[in-house]
Amino acid sequence: MKNDIFEKIKIIHKDITNLKVDAIVNAANNSLSGGGGVDGAIHKAAGPNLLQACKKTGGCPTGEARITEGYNLFASYVIHTVGPVYKKKNNNEQLLTLCYNNCLSLAQEYQIKTIAFPAISCGIYGYPIDKACEIALNTCLAFIEKNDFIHQIIFSLFSSKYKFIYEKHFNNKISGDRPSYIKA
């Protein structure tokens, strides 16, 4: 993997609603109606027009993604995705991978150059942070290696603990601990 790919990734501990990026990703529920955690924070910061736009989408199945305007946010767009509720014997990994791939595909379609992700499914949906982080990083790195339109992917994490875990996994990838399907 080319080193400049790694330069496109940034890991921060910040409120995703305050980021000045082209799009932020909302870890949403199936109805896209707002809720707790990052979903509630995004809806609150964006204002009531976001909920009205979400209602027009007809919802979002797990693993898929929908896009709306950002309204009162600094971001022009909100990409809503529904992560899996974690269960030990399930297709969690495939669904979480689909979340990231579908968000990045929408980013490509809308010519989004900078995008910020939360830790999808790691809050109330119970996905173990280490496993979710590996999926997020592997999927995003593989995507940007094949698609050069993205200038920056930011992982905006709500806790310093999550930021530390993401940095640890990311640093392991830089130092060579990469999955076999990502070629050096």
Contact 84, 125 (CB under 8 A): yes
Answer whether residue 37 is part of any domain: yes
Taking each helix axis as running N to C, give the angle between helix 129-146 and helix 92-109, from 0 to 180 degrees, rounded to the nearest 10: 40
- 103 Cβ contact list (under 8 Å, min separation 6): 25, 65, 79, 81, 115, 117
Domain limits at 89? Answer: 3-174
Which tokens hold the place of 21?
């990026």
Predicted local distance difference test score (pLDDT) of residue 89: 72
Q: Give the pLDDT band (50/70/90) at residue 69.
A: very high
Alpha helices in the chain (DSSP H): 3-6, 37-46, 48-57, 92-109, 129-146, 160-174
Answer whether residue 117 is part of any domain: yes
How far apart CA 92 and CA 137 sit, in angstroms, is 16
Predicted local distance difference test score (pLDDT) of residue 91: 77
Predicted TM-score of the model (pTM): 0.92
Length of the chain measured in residues: 184
How far apart CA 22 and CA 87 sit, in angstroms, is 33
Q: Give the pLDDT band (50/70/90) at residue 46.
A: very high
Mean pLDDT over all residues of the chain? 92
Which tokens hold the place of 152?
């920056």
Q: Based on the structure, what is the number of domains in the chain?
A: 1
**What are residue 25's DSSP bridge partners?**
79
Answer whether residue 184 is part of any domain: no
Contact 102, 65 (CB under 8 A): yes
Predicted local distance difference test score (pLDDT) of residue 41: 96
Does residue 147 sit in helix, strand or coil? coil
Q: Per-residue pLDDT for 88 more than 60?
A: yes
CATH number, domain at 62? 3.40.220.10
Q: Per-residue pLDDT for 18 more than 80?
A: yes
Answer whether residue 183 is part of any domain: no
The DSSP secondary-structure symbol of 18 reads G
Answer whether residue 59 is part of any domain: yes
Q: Give the pLDDT band (50/70/90) at residue 178.
A: very low
Answer whether residue 181 is part of any domain: no
Answer whether residue 121 is part of any domain: yes
Tens digits of residue pLDDT in 100-121 = 999 999 999 999 999 999 999 9
Answer whether residue 182 is part of any domain: no
